[in-house]
């Protein structure tokens, strides 16, 4: 009997069980917290770690974890429900746009314009996503782009992995090489007590070199898949992906070419404008999921009116589109449930305390590289870049002084480690949600990305070591 790798749901439930088991084995502990006026958050105080009563997570906690991942049942404080609802609304929006025929017509016209030059869309798109990542930590917002880019890449005779890589690696390398990202670099720098402009040259270098490495890696893979489709890591899903994303139209340049009408042009203009407004709202006005969801509801209505859809046709199409992404929304909540169990088990601070002890007293180069790997380990448990910064920087930055390492290098090591892990972290809802949208199994993504992770790690450790001795 051939082994079949489990689905994302099974993987995530397994991780919930594993973390719950760990809460019975790892001692519970906490640091004292104090309010940081700059961050407006409680941060741990170095040297105050102490044991507390255990709160091991049992069967009921495991069962309730995915539910608590969406919304805390006691406080009703949102956890992942806002992101999950955003995904459902994006599904409805894409359903409306697809129903108008504008997507098919737009893909056909795009392929005609790009014929012979399709590969150059890869560096351009990855640069745009990297810009979003380095400026404002683009993450959940990328979920809106999969429905746009995947059909174009498949129509260009690439595969779904290429499209997922363009988005996830593009935004991810931008976040890894954050320059002015307020949710990573700025928070971490404030917590470390240094201006966020300190170490900017190193972070720009990491951003540019990392982007170039990722672009070359994705372009090589894409061209290999285009010439030899059987080499795709999702080759066995090629036909079903074409049917799903291209609605059965196998040949991007085939004889069935939809007319590109005035209605299609207006629909695509509204479509593009919606994403432009979303990016502006997030970058300039601090929008989050509620406002972005509202934007795509309004855009859906406008497109429905432009296409002269009946009320019944509009509502049924919107609901059908949301239904298509229901599985993605569930994945996001389940992934958040892992962090819920770990926090309830009071083991996060204990892991941080062990990390503090492991790097105390090391030389400068050994310290920065050991800290990089410890931040990688902690990133699995705390996938939020801002959460990891608030948790670790107040502890790690003072230790850097004793090792003779500049605090801005410590900030860069933290954000590099967090950014690298969040390219494949199963506890990060953006990764699991993006793979679900692209219909790429998690183990196939690991097969695709692991050589790149080794290359990026070598680059990061080399540059961090160089920055330490300069």
Confidence of residue 223 (pLDDT cuts 50, 70, 90): very high
d(C-alpha 111, C-alpha 120), whole Å: 13
Question: Tell me: the pLDDT tens digits for 429-454?
Answer: 889 889 998 999 999 999 999 999 99
Q: For residues 129 and 382, which has the higher predicted lDDT (pLDDT)? A: 129
Per-residue pLDDT at 427: 81
Confidence of residue 408 (pLDDT cuts 50, 70, 90): very high
Question: Tell me: the pLDDT tens digits for 224-279?
Answer: 999 999 999 999 988 888 888 876 444 443 445 567 788 889 998 998 898 889 87
Average pLDDT over residues 453-467: 95
Average pLDDT over residues 211-227: 96
Average pLDDT over the chain, rounded to an integer: 86
Radius of gyration of the chain (CA): 23
pLDDT higher than threshold 80 for residue 28: yes
pTM, entire model: 0.79
Per-residue pLDDT at 469: 85
- How many Å separate Cα 417 from the centre of its chain? 14
Per-residue pLDDT at 244: 81
Question: Tell me: the pLDDT tens digits for 12-26?
Answer: 888 899 989 999 999
Per-residue pLDDT at 266: 93
Per-residue pLDDT at 105: 78
Question: Residue ranges per domain, the chain?
Answer: 81-332
Q: What percent of the chain has a predicted confidence (pLDDT) above 90?
A: 39
Per-residue pLDDT at 222: 95
Per-residue pLDDT at 256: 53
Per-residue pLDDT at 247: 67
Confidence of residue 301 (pLDDT cuts 50, 70, 90): very high
Q: What is the distance between the terminal CA atoms of the chain, rounded to a whole angstrom?
A: 57
d(C-alpha 18, C-alpha 103), whole Å: 43
**Out of 106-110, 211-215, 294-298, which region has the weakest mean confidence (pLDDT)?**
106-110
Question: Tell me: the pLDDT tens digits for 39-59?
Answer: 677 888 888 899 999 899 999
Per-residue pLDDT at 224: 95
pLDDT higher than threshold 70 for residue 72: no
Tell me which residue has tokens 């009116």: 305
Average pLDDT over residues 342-368: 86
Per-residue pLDDT at 412: 94
Average pLDDT over residues 403-417: 91
Confidence of residue 76 (pLDDT cuts 50, 70, 90): very low
Per-residue pLDDT at 343: 82
Average pLDDT over residues 140-158: 86
Which residues lie closer than 8 Å to 87 by C-beta, 6 or more apart? 143, 325, 328, 329, 332, 433
d(C-alpha 110, C-alpha 139), whole Å: 26
Per-residue pLDDT at 74: 57
Confidence of residue 289 (pLDDT cuts 50, 70, 90): confident
pLDDT higher than threshold 90 for residue 206: yes
Q: What percent of the chain has a predicted confidence (pLDDT) above 70?
A: 93
d(C-alpha 375, C-alpha 416), whole Å: 9
Per-residue pLDDT at 285: 78
């Amino acid at each position: 009997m051939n082994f079949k790798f489990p689905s994302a749901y099974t993987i995530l439930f397994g991780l919930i069980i594993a973390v719950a088991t760990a809460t019975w084995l790892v001692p519970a502990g906490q640091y004292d917290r104090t309010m940081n006026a700059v961050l407006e958050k409680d941060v741990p105080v170095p040297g105050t770690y102490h044991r507390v009563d255990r709160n091991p997570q049992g069967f009921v906690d495991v069962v309730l974890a995915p539910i608590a991942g969406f919304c805390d049942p006691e406080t009703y404080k949102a956890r992942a429900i806002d992101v999950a609802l955003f995904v459902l609304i994006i599904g409805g929006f894409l359903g409306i746009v697809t129903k108008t025929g504008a997507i098919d017509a737009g893909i056909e016209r795009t392929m005609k314009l790009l014929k012979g030059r399709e590969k150059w869309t890869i560096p351009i798109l990855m640069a745009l996503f990297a810009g979003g990542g380095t400026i404002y930590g683009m993450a959940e917002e990328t979920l809106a782009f999969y429905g746009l880019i995947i059909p174009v890449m498949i129509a260009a005779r690439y595969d779904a992995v290429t499209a997922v890589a363009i988005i996830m690696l593009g935004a991810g390398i931008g976040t890894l090489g954050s320059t002015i990202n307020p949710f990573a670099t700025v928070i971490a720098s404030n917590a470390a007590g240094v201006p966020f402009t300190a170490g900017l040259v190193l972070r720009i270098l990491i951003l540019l070199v990392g982007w170039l490495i990722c672009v070359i890696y994705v372009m090589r893979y894409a061209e290999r898949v285009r010439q030899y489709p059987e080499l795709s890591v999702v080759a066995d899903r090629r036909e079903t992906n074409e049917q799903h994303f291209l609605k059965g139209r196998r040949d991007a340049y085939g004889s069935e070419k939809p007319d590109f009408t005035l209605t299609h042009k207006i629909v695509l203009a509204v479509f593009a404008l919606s994403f432009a407004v979303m990016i502006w709202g997030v970058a300039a006005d601090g929008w989050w999921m509620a406002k972005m969801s509202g934007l795509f509801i309004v855009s859906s209505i406008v497109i429905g009116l432009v296409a002269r859809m009946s009320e019944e046709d509009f509502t049924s199409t919107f609901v059908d589109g949301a239904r298509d992404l229901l599985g993605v929304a569930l994945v996001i909540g389940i992934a958040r449930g892992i962090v819920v169990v770990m926090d309830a088990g009071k083991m996060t601070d204990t892991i941080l305390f062990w990390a503090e002890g492991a790097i105390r007293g090391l030389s400068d180069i050994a310290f920065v590289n050991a800290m990089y790997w410890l931040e990688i380990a902690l990133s699995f448990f705390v996938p939020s870049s801002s959460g990891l910064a608030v948790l670790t920087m107040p502890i790690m930055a003072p230790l850097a002084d004793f090792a003779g390492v500049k605090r801005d290098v410590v900030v860069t090591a933290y954000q590099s480690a967090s950014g690298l892990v969040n390219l494949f972290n199963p506890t990060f809802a953006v990764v699991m949600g993006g793979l679900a949208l692209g219909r790429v199994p998690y183990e196939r993504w690991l097969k695709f990305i692991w050589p790149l992770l080794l290359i990026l790690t070598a680059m990061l450790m080399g540059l961090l070591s160089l920055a330490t001795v300069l």
